[in-house]
Amino acid sequence: MTAAIETHQAYERMFRRPELDEIGRLAQEALASDTLAASAFGGDRSGAALEAAMRAMGNPWLNIDHVDCSARAFAELQAMGRILGQCSPFEGALAASLRPSLGDWRDHLTPPRDLLADPMLRSGFYLERGFDPALTDFPVPAFEESVEAAGLQERHERPTEAEGDSVEDGFARAREAFDKLQRFEIVIRQFIQKTMHAAYGEEWMKRQLPNGMLDVWHAKRDTAVKAGEAKRPLIDYADFTDYRQIIERADNWRTVFKPIFGRPEDLRESFQRLFPVRIATMHARVVTLDDTLLLIVETKRVLRAIQTAGE
């Protein structure tokens, strides 16, 4: 434990706040290349908005050995928040603009669950997809402040038991991630139930679920009731992988979901980015900052699409 704390503290000493006279240069250079930040802040070539965000940071966030890389990563986080707040969440251009940062997840992926349960192997899997590790190469307080400044996540208090211990910090994030995913799944289930009922009527489950899924739900409910649990609506027994299968089923997609999510590969990408985080939380494993970023970006996208559809 002592060694872990010392390593954590040594890592934090690698970061500083920028000098006031270098912020302008850092902002300009971060916007100079063909990146998400350049697109998001394209109307402000002076870099004033990005400079203001950098200047407002209270925690050390600039890597003393990789100053320009830290500045670019910070700018990308701010850009994600800005674009997600301004664009339709499943607009084709937005989905494409996120891939250089979060990786390309459009293919059907079936990674082994034991790989996803291990934080190191999971991070390697993200790198293979094209995830940019610079986006999370910050001390935890600086990362949290950055995503809050970007509007990606609301401000919250960090658990006190996580202070100074990166392992405990990872478990604290796992608890937060579990709670966020649980709330997310409740919304998804309610959304599917409401939209499918409106489109197909009371018997939608019998006609519109993929083959065998309804039988699995019934079996899960029977087992739960026999174990003494209260009987709940069938949709509550859906698995995380069921949501996408229901939405992507060809007739459901054409009739109900295409106007909401645009293209099936973009929705698939969102759910596949969320799946490894869910595996980690289900197995009570450490959740990394990489996991956290994927979680907050993709839950925000999906929930915004659902909210917009209900307006």
Q: What is the pLDDT of residues 14-33, one digit of tens each?
A: 999 999 999 999 999 998 87
- Amino acid 274: pLDDT: 96
> How many whole angstroms separate alpha carbon 290 and alpha carbon 132?
9
Q: Judge whether 261 and 90 are in contact, CB under 8 Å.
A: yes
Q: Which of these, 153, 197, 192, 159, lies nearest to 175 by C-alpha position?
A: 159
> How many whole angstroms separate alpha carbon 38 and alpha carbon 75?
9
- Amino acid 4: pLDDT: 65
- Amino acid 123: pLDDT: 94
Which residue in this structure is represented by tokens 């993709």?
A: 298
Question: Which phi and psi (to 5°) does residue 131 adopt?
Answer: -65, 135
pLDDT classification of 38: cutoffs 50, 70, 90: confident
Selected residue with higher pLDDT from 258 and 165: 258
- Amino acid 34: pLDDT: 72
Residue type, position 66, single letter: H
Residues 7-18: tens digit of each pLDDT: 777 888 999 999
- Amino acid 156: pLDDT: 55
Q: Which residues contact 120 (CB under 8 A, 6 or more apart)?
A: none
pLDDT classification of 47: cutoffs 50, 70, 90: confident
Residue type, position 14, single letter: M
Q: For residue 110, is pLDDT > 80? A: yes
Determine the 3-state secondary structure of 42 from DSSP: coil
> pTM for the whole thing?
0.91
Question: Which phi and psi (to 5°) does residue 306 adopt?
Answer: -65, -45
- Amino acid 113: pLDDT: 85
Which residue in this structure is represented by tokens 């293979």?
A: 128
End-to-end alpha carbon distance in the chain: 51
Two tokens, residue 138 = 């910050």
- Domain residue spans in the chain? 2-186+266-310
Q: For residue 183, is pLDDT > 70? A: yes
Residues 209-247: tens digit of each pLDDT: 999 999 999 999 999 999 999 999 999 999 999 999 999
Backbone torsion region of residue 153, taken as left when φ is above 0, otherwise alpha when ψ lies between -120 and 50, otherwise beta: beta
Within 112-212, residue ranges assigned H as helices are: 113-117, 119-129, 140-149, 166-200, 204-208
Determine the 3-state secondary structure of 206 from DSSP: helix
pLDDT classification of 297: cutoffs 50, 70, 90: very high
What mean pLDDT do residues 31-52 have? 80
pLDDT classification of 1: cutoffs 50, 70, 90: low
Say what percent of the chain tops pLDDT 70: 93
**Mean pLDDT computed over every residue of the chain:** 90
pLDDT classification of 163: cutoffs 50, 70, 90: very low
Strands (E), the chain: 15-16, 62-63
